[in-house]
Amino acid sequence: MELPLQVIPHPSRHAAFTPADALERLGLRADRLAFGLAGIGGAWGEVDQGVARETLRQAIEAGVGVFDVAPAYGTAEKLLGEALAGWRGPRPVVSTKVGRMPGLSGHVGVFDYSSATMRDSLQRSLDTLGLPTVDLLFLHEPEMVPVEQRARVVEVLRQMQADGLTRRLGLGGGDGPGWSRFIESGCFDVVMLFRRLDACILDGMTADVPRVKAAGLAIYGASPLHMGLLGSRHEEFIRERPEWVWAQPIQRAIRLRALAERHGLSLSTLAHRFMFSVAEIDRTVIGARSPAELTAALADFSAGPLPAALFEEVCATSR
C-alpha cells in the first residue's frame, strides 16, 4: 500500500512590508534585508576584488545596514572590515559565524567545533572586521556537530556571549535534527534557514518554521535563489545537477521559470519577490556578485510582495 503524500503547509504572505519587530526587539534593527557577502567574498568562485568592493560600496550607499559574513566566505570579512573602517552612517548590524573554517571552495566544508578553535575563529573575525563585538554570532552548519558534543558547543557559544564577544546567538543553516531542546531552552535568538524555504522548496514549513516560531526565535531566510538554481546558474544546474541540489527542486525550478515567463518576470525576480513575501521570514539574506546583481535584487525588493494569486501559484508549483 502506498503511503499518502505529505501535505506541506503554505507560508503566509505579507500584504505589505512591515518592520521586522522580532529582530528589532533583539536590538538587530527592523530591516527586512541583509546583504550576505559569500558571493563577493569568493566562496562560490573567484571574484575580482575591485568589483567586490564596488558592490559593497553600492550596498552601503543604497542604505543596506545589515551584513552577514563568515570565515568560510573567502575575503568577505576583510572586505566588510575595510568598509566599516570608513563607515559614516548609522551603525550597521553585523553577523559572522564559527564552526566552518576557510576552505578551497564553498562546496567543500572544513569544520572544527573544538572549543579553542571556535573562540580563536571569532577573535580573528573581530580583528579582521575591526569590531570589539558582533551583533549576531551563528553556529555555522549546526547539523555537522556530533550530537554528543552539542551541549559543550552551546556552552562555548554562551561563554563567548557572556564575555561580550557577541550580543546574540544563532543557528546558521537550519535548526537541524537534535537541536530542538537547545532552541526551546532559550540559548539562541535567531535561526537561519538555508535551502529549506524558498520558491522551489517549502519543506521548512513542516517542522523548522513551526518549531522555531513556537520557541519565539526570529528567522533569517538565506539564499532566496537556491544557490543560483533560480538565478544565473539555472541553465547550468539543469544541464548537470550538482550533488547538493536535490532532484525535486530542479523540476520545480523548471516549472517556476515557465510561471515567471507567463507573468512577464525573470525567474530571479519571481524567486526574490516570493521570498520577500513570506511572512514567516523576518529577514531575507540576499547575495550578489556584482553591482548589477545587487541593483536587480534591491529593485525586486522595492517592487514589494507578490500579488496574492501569484504567491499561491508559486506555492502550488513548489509542491
Q: Domain extents for the chain? A: 22-226+281-302
**What are the residues whose beta carbons fall under 8 Å from the beta carbon of 232, sequence distance 6 or more?**
268, 293
Residue at grid coordinates 506541506: 8
**If you count DSSP H runs as helices and E runs as strands, how many of each does the chain have, helices first?**
13, 10
pLDDT for the residue numbered 58: 97
Buried b (16+ CB within 10 A) or exposed e, 88-116: eeeebbbbbbbbbeeeeebeeeeeebeee
> What is the per-residue pLDDT across 235-266, written as a single tens digit (0 to 9) for each?
999 999 988 888 899 999 999 999 999 999 99
pLDDT for the residue numbered 44: 84
pLDDT for the residue numbered 107: 62
Q: Where are the strands (E) in 215-307, listed by range?
A: 218-222, 283-287
The amino acid at 84: L
Cβ pair 73, 40 in contact under 8 A: no
DSSP state string for 162-192 = HTTSEEEEEEET---TT-HHHHHTT--SEEE
Cα 41 from Cα 53, distance rounded (Å): 10
In this structure, which topology does domain 22-226+281-302 adopt according to CATH? TIM Barrel (3.20.20)
Cβ pair 279, 11 in contact under 8 A: yes
For residue 70, which of 154, 155, 141 has the smallest C-alpha distance? 141
Cβ neighbours of 309 (radius 10 Å): 8
> What is the per-residue pLDDT across 18-61, written as a single tens digit (0 to 9) for each?
999 999 999 999 999 999 999 999 988 899 999 999 999 999 99
Side-chain-side CA neighbours of 77 within 13 Å: the count stands at 23
Phi, psi of 231, deg, nearest 5: -140, -130
Positions in the chain short of pLDDT 50: 1-4
pLDDT for the residue numbered 3: 41
